[in-house]
Amino acid sequence: MTFGTLLEALLLGLLEGFTEFLPVSSTGHILLAGHFLGFESTGKTFEVLIQLGAILAIVVVYFSRFWHVLITLPSSARSRNFVLGILIAFLPAAVIGALAHGFIKSVLFESPGLICVMLILGGIVLLWIDTVTLKPRFLDAMAFPPSLAFRVGLFQCLAMIPGVSRSGSTIVGGLLMGASKPAAAEFSFFLALPTMAGAFAYDLYKNRDVLSFDDGIIIVVGFVAAFFAAVLVVRSLIAFVSRHGLTPFGWWRIAVGGIGLVALALVG
């Protein structure tokens, strides 16, 4: 392990934290950056495990709300509905992710051209969704009915393809199903907790025999960087989306995907 490797881990951790909760595909950005930097992690595990930093950012920012849900769970129907909705939304990705884990990691994660194309297509979807006149019926992320939560969970499964974006697919899915932009973004935050924690635990288990001490060091560096960057994003994203919509992220995705395709054509 060299200083250059640690610096790359730091940069990729910051990239993870800044992009995880934006509808731009953090995995797509990290895989593309790692491809062009020549960064390699054991079994592509670094790219998954540093997401724990982003998970903890959600816990820190929303700690008071999560604590309130926990202590009122026995007595509050609202709290029980919230927990049930998150679990229901998580199930589709949990099942498909476990069944297709090998294919996702060995094929999709190794396809930078596919990532660029999905970034562009996802950007077009974000531009389109901001032009559609939608009438929000669900304004509170903690009060989503189970049926709505399940449908948002199905949209999340699209993010198994790197470049699609977990937050992008769940936010767009929520909007199409009648959620307001702030509620859709907030539900995407909450749904990230079991989804990313599950991916973290499963990937750590699958690669437990091949990880080394050096892997642990770069993962810690990436984790810390991802945590601090994600805290900044989580605290500001909902207000930004409420004011500016998803169009800025759409153009960003198209630009990154287009530049990526050009770079792949030039340097491979």
Complete DSSP assignment for 132-162: S-----B--GGG--HHHHHHHHHHHGGGGST
* Mean of pLDDT values over 73-97: 94
- How many CB atoms sit inside 10 A of residue 198's CB? 15
- Asked if residues 2 and 99 have their Cβ atoms less than 8 Å apart, the reply is no
* Mean of pLDDT values over 36-46: 72
Least confident of 13-22, 76-85, 208-217, 223-232: 208-217
Alpha carbons 19 and 88: distance in angstroms, whole number: 25
Residues 217-253 have pLDDT tens digits of 888 899 899 999 999 998 998 889 888 999 999 999 9
For the chain, what is the domain count?
1
Query: Of 108 and 183, which is predicted with more confidence?
Result: 183
User: What pTM value is reported for the model?
Assistant: 0.86
* Mean of pLDDT values over 19-32: 88
Q: Give the residue numbers spanning the domain of 95.
A: 3-267
The CA R_g of the chain, rounded to the nearest whole Å, is 18
N residues, the chain? 268
Nearest 10 degrees: CA dihedral of 43, 156, 59, 26? 50
Residues 160-180 have pLDDT tens digits of 898 999 999 999 999 999 999
